[in-house]
Each structure stands twice: as C-alpha cells, then as structure tokens.
Structure 1
C-alpha cells in the first residue's frame, strides 16, 4: 500500500539548513554536514540511501527548494535525488505559480498551485501508478524543505516520518518543528551509522 513518507536530515538543534540559504548556498552555512551520511562510502549508509530512494514512486518538494536544485549549482546527472540509486520518479512541486521555464527538463515535474494537500494527493496518485507499473510497492516521499514537512505533519498528511539526525549543532537556520502542534509519534526503528542516527516514526 502506498504511504506518504516525510524524509529529511536535521541537526541536533533542530535545523534542516544552516543560516544564509540562497542560490549557490542551498543548504546554508554549514548545512551540507547534515547530508554527510548520504555521500558516505560507509556500506550501511549507502544501503539506507539506496533503500530510501528505491521506495520513491513520487517526490514532493516546495518551490524554494525547487528553485535551489534547478539553479546553476543544483542537481545534475551525477548529483540529485537518487542519481546513482534509482530511476527518475515523478516530482511534485508545491507553488503559488508554475515557473515559466526551468533547467531540469529531463525530469518529470508537476507544479501544483492549489495547496499542499492537493500536491500530496497528486504525489500519492503518481506513486500508486508507479507501483502498478513496476509490480512493487512505492511511496510518495516528502523531501522538504522544512516548512513543507512541518506543515504536512501538522495537517495529518504524513503516514511515516524519517529523520536523519546529524551530529552537528548549526546554531541557526531553517527550523523543522518550531511552532508545530503537539503530537505523539510511534517509534518504529533506530539505526546508528557513523555520520547520523536514522529515526523512523509512524504517525497516527
């Protein structure tokens, strides 16, 4: 059964980017340390990355994140979501207005202008279609940014939350759950690797 999964890396002090985020500095100052596990040669970290991207039938992201990864210093054939692990899932962007043009034309982009709930529904639909076509269960994955993940969890749109907790204190940046409503999660798994602790929670 297709699920909606939020999957994001976060610092020990709760930030998903460092300060001064912008084009050419998409993770903010010091923020790339959050993703050290994803670029590691450690076999357990490689396995977790491969498993995470392999389950992705569709991926949801916000417009700010889209603009960064579509920028000149953003994704390429070598660097991007599952670039070395999987094929190319559908991408659904939550935005107030679709861009007139974009650089990454080789990927399947859908721009949803009617809100987060509709974007998640569109991603679930695409993941279900990908599941039927591939003969295996695939999910809709929310990759960020932080405000999108926070809003989706608060709105009850997420079935499962995976946090890759990096051993770094950023001090400031984009917070993940500041201002979020109270919620009790159900811990499913904890996996410790050299560059992060990987926490998965079910949300009911």
Structure 2
C-alpha cells in the first residue's frame, strides 16, 4: 500500500506562508523554497528522489489556482521544480474549475473532502506502482491548512519538513492548534540552503 507523505517547506519560526497577495507563499515567502532551485547536489538528489517516488499528489484549491494560473507552472518549473515529474494531481475543492490551463497533466478534482481526495490519490498511486513495477507514494503538497488537517485526521504516515534558515515573523503557522502527535525522527540532511527532516508520524 502506498505511503501517505506530507511534504512542505517551513521557516525556522514555523510558518509555511507569509501574508500578502503576491502568490500562494505571500510577500517574501519565496525564501522558503530556495532549496527547490538550488545547485547543491544534496538538494538536487533529495528533490529528484522525492519526485521519482511520487505516484500521486494532493493539493488544495488555492494552490491549484496558483499552479494552473497564467504565471504558474510550466515545463521548467513543474512538480519537483527543476526535477520535473508528472504524477497524478488530486485537488480538494468544493467547486471544480471550468477549465484547466495545464491540460497535459493528470488532474482529478474531488468535492467530497480530504478523505475522498486521499483515497483517490492512493488509488492512482497504487495503479502507477503496479504499472511501473515500483512502490510509489501519495504526497500531500499543501497548502499548510490541508496538511495540518491531514495530520489532525491521522492519515499522514510520514512528515518531511524542509526547514529554511529564515525567520518570517508572521504568516500561516503549520502547527498552531494542532492535535498532539508523536513523531519519530527518521533522517536529517543539512545542505547549504535548508535542513531536510523526515519523521514517522505515530
């Protein structure tokens, strides 16, 4: 069965976005994602391996609107940034869009909430695992509220945080008001741009 992995960047003071209308990250929030375009070989390897094992990705509607918007992703900055992958993409939304700009990607829109989206993503990841002959994961990409909800609901088995060496001071916190969870640290990889920390969620 495919693992459910929550994967996101976070500031040293625990924020996943900053306020502001500029993009999904807010004004100055792009500092959280320097590692995605880093030349550091360990960052590149971490991103490449994560993209390669992603069978399906779950994201919220706000993030979809940014990704599929006119200034959103393209062939050079797709899923996995420079390590562009094309897993199935499952969007949690109450209102599916009338059209999709990135029509070459495999989109599924789920209106029954997060559990339905995770179930749909798991089905897609397991089908891709069978056809590809290797185990592939379901990755919860965000936003922060979606991942916090998934952690609170107990559906996340692995949490990977990319802790950026930046203090944002304000924004959307990942864990405020969260249901208590025990984490077991599995690995820590420090690079020139970020510290990648992976936990098992109990």
Query: TM-score normalized by structure 1?
Result: 0.96
Report the equivalent of 1:149.
147
1:146-169 deviations in Å (ceiling 9; x for gaps): 000000011011110000000001
Correspondence for 2:64: 66
Partner of 2:112: 114
2:187 to 170, 183, 189: 189
Deviation (angstroms), 1:62: 0.3
User: Alpha-carbon deviation of 1:66?
Assistant: 0.4
Equivalent residue, structure 2, for 1:51:
49
Runs of 4+, deviation exceeding 2 Å: 82-87
Tell me what 1:13 maps to: 13
Scaled by the length of structure 2, the TM-score of the pair is 0.96
Deviation at 1:26, TM superposition (A): 2.5
Give the counterpart of 2:167 among 166, 169, 172. Answer: 169
For the aligned residue pairs, the C-alpha RMSD in angstroms reads 1.1
Aligned partner of residue 92 in structure 1, secondary structure:
strand
Deviation at 1:25? 2.2
1:125-152 Cα distance to aligned partner (Å, 9 max, x none): 1100000011011000000000000000
The structural deviation recorded for 1:2 is: 1.2
* Equivalent residue, structure 1, for 2:80: 82
Contact 1:11–1:169 (CA under 8 A) maintained in structure 2: yes
